Amino acid sequence: MARPHRWLTEVALCAALAVASLTGCGAPPSQVPSQTVATVVAGPGQTAPRSAVPWRLIGPGWALAEDAATSANPSQKVSGSVILYLIDPQRGRYRLFSWPAKGAAPYGDLIDWSGDSQRALFTYGGSDKHPRMRVEQLNLRTGKFTGFTFRAASLIPVGYSRPDGKEILVDKVSASATGDDALVLYSLGGQAQKTVWRAPGIDNVVYSPGGQELVTDSYGSMVLLSSAGRVIRHLYSPQLCDVVRWWNSVTILADCAPHDSSADRMWLIPLSGAKGTPLTPQRQDLAGEDEGDSDLYQLSSGTYLNAQGPHCGNNIVVRQEPHGKVRAYVIRGEPEATIVSATATRLLLQEDQGCSGALAPFPQILAWFNPVSRKQTVVVPVSREDAGVLAVIPYYQNGEF
């Protein structure tokens, strides 16, 4: 168990972030994505074709979104299209490709975007009917798919290697609950290259921006590895922790929970192995407006959290206030909202228009939201009859501001 900490005030939170970012409170200059270095074609709420994509401008603040323009009703026959959009920080979108929802087109679940911004990674399978996963790589410039099928059902793709996505990182899951999982690098053609790490219960994995290092967690303990698989050091794990993302060159962001609680708390964990800094107070299970936090974004207007709320499907957006308090946002009356990316002034939200549960899909839209003005721009609108946005993959950005 971690030592008890006093709830952080807003000033203390600012100080903690300042230590981590070395630039003071607010989005550090190196982490704030440039809004534009030239005018992009698709402005707020507009749609442009793939031919208009300003590829050289793609960087932090951009995202790929997979939209299922198909019926969300399981009793209806599958029809419609699956559409891949490119979202820009100017709140516009580019329609890259679309495929019929039922047919020969090799689309699946969007899971990653290569660091060179040129390729997207899709997976299909992992079910009783199709136990072996198929991996499809889409060239975003040409629309060409290339792929392969794994030989064993125990191989689960994690995503591209960093920095450019020249390989695919795969989790080889142990058949035994007490056995070791393995992180294995595969070539883009499906050949195993090398094993990076073995440990029981491997969960999240995050690469450094340059790709030389990665952090993973197994059964709540975190370890820093070289990309070649050498253990650099075991990191301070105050509780049972999941690594969230690389925060800056010397710190990672993690969400951690006590052994006897599911109420996660946000921490900054030094890569040096030193003790971490809690960024949010310890929430209480099934108590209060915020029952636990899973992600944190520092904007110029304050600190915003992905939180578990007391109602509906439990995904809400809150702002961290002084003395451990939070302010919850109701986004256009949507019951649920999840932050998937951010700029210095806006949050990119995946919003549920229904009260989603484990068994029932509901329409999901994608929108940029300004928490100061409370105004938003919907970039992927969805018909009430459609499933909506299935996945959003932001371009990698250090700290994801």
pLDDT at 16 over 80: no
- Asked if residue 113 belongs to a domain, the reply is yes
pLDDT at 197 over 50: yes
What number is the average pLDDT over the span 65-88?
Answer: 81
Name, of 121-135, 186-200, 355-369, the range with top average pLDDT: 186-200
pLDDT at 15 over 60: no
- Asked if residue 48 belongs to a domain, the reply is no
Give the span between the Cα atoms of 342 and 330, in whole angstroms: 18
Residue 19 belongs to what H/E stretch?
A: helix 10-21
Query: Band of the pLDDT at 73, cuts 50, 70, 90?
Result: low
Tell me what pLDDT residue 308 has.
85
pLDDT digits (tens, 9 = 90+) for 374-387: 999 999 988 777 78
pLDDT at 359 over 90: no
Query: Band of the pLDDT at 397, cuts 50, 70, 90?
Result: low
What number is the average pLDDT over the span 10-14?
Answer: 36
pLDDT digits (tens, 9 = 90+) for 282-310: 988 767 788 889 999 999 999 999 988 87
- Asked if residue 207 belongs to a domain, the reply is yes
- Asked if residue 52 belongs to a domain, the reply is no
Q: Structure tokens of 161?
A: 């290697």
DSSP state of 322: G
pLDDT digits (tens, 9 = 90+) for 100-123: 876 544 568 999 999 999 999 999
Q: What is the overall mean pLDDT for the chain?
A: 83
Q: Structure tokens of 399?
A: 């700290």
Q: In what order do the strands lie in the sheet with 251-257?
A: 240-248, 251-257, 265-270, 277-278
Find the largest Cα–Cα distance for the chain: 57
**Number of folded domains that form the chain:** 1
Cβ-contact 108, 96 below 8 angstroms: no
CATH number of the domain residue 337 falls in: 2.130.10.120
pLDDT digits (tens, 9 = 90+) for 198-221: 999 898 999 998 999 999 999 889
pLDDT at 96 over 90: yes
Percent of the chain with pLDDT over 70: 82
Residues 6+ positions from 159 with CB-CB distance below 8 Å: 111, 112, 121, 168, 169, 205
Residue 72 dihedral angles phi and psi, to the nearest 5°: -90, 0
pLDDT digits (tens, 9 = 90+) for 40-63: 778 888 899 999 999 999 998 999
What number is the average pLDDT over the span 73-92?
Answer: 83
Give the span between the Cα atoms of 345 and 354, in whole angstroms: 27
Instruction: Give CA 302 to chain center in angstroms.
Output: 20
The domain of 387 spans 10-36+57-394
- Asked if residue 43 belongs to a domain, the reply is no
pLDDT at 182 over 90: yes
pTM: 0.85
Tell me what pLDDT residue 45 has.
84
The least confident of 109-113, 126-130, 275-279 is 126-130
- Within 17-88, strands assigned E span 47-49, 63-71, 80-87
pLDDT digits (tens, 9 = 90+) for 140-156: 999 999 999 998 999 99
Give the span between the Cα atoms of 157 and 116, in whole angstroms: 19
- Within 188-309, strands assigned E span 192-199, 202-207, 213-218, 221-226, 231-234, 240-248, 251-257, 265-270, 277-278, 293-299, 302-308
- CA-angle at 296, arms to 115 and 109, nearest 5°: 45
Percent of the chain with pLDDT over 90: 59
Tell me what pLDDT residue 72 has.
62
pLDDT at 400 over 50: no
Tell me what pLDDT residue 125 has.
85
What number is the average pLDDT over the span 77-86?
Answer: 84
- Asked if residue 69 belongs to a domain, the reply is yes
Tell me what pLDDT residue 358 has.
43
Cβ-contact 199, 181 below 8 angstroms: yes
List the beta bridge partners of residue 366: 350, 380
Tell me what pLDDT residue 36 has.
40
- Asked if residue 109 belongs to a domain, the reply is yes
Tell me what pLDDT residue 103 has.
54
The least confident of 4-13, 81-90, 228-237, 342-351 is 4-13
The 10 Å CB-count burial string (b at 16+, else e) for 54-93 is beebbebbbbbbbbbbbbbeeeeeeebbbbbbbbbbbbbb
pLDDT digits (tens, 9 = 90+) for 305-341: 998 887 766 788 999 998 888 898 887 767 789 999 9
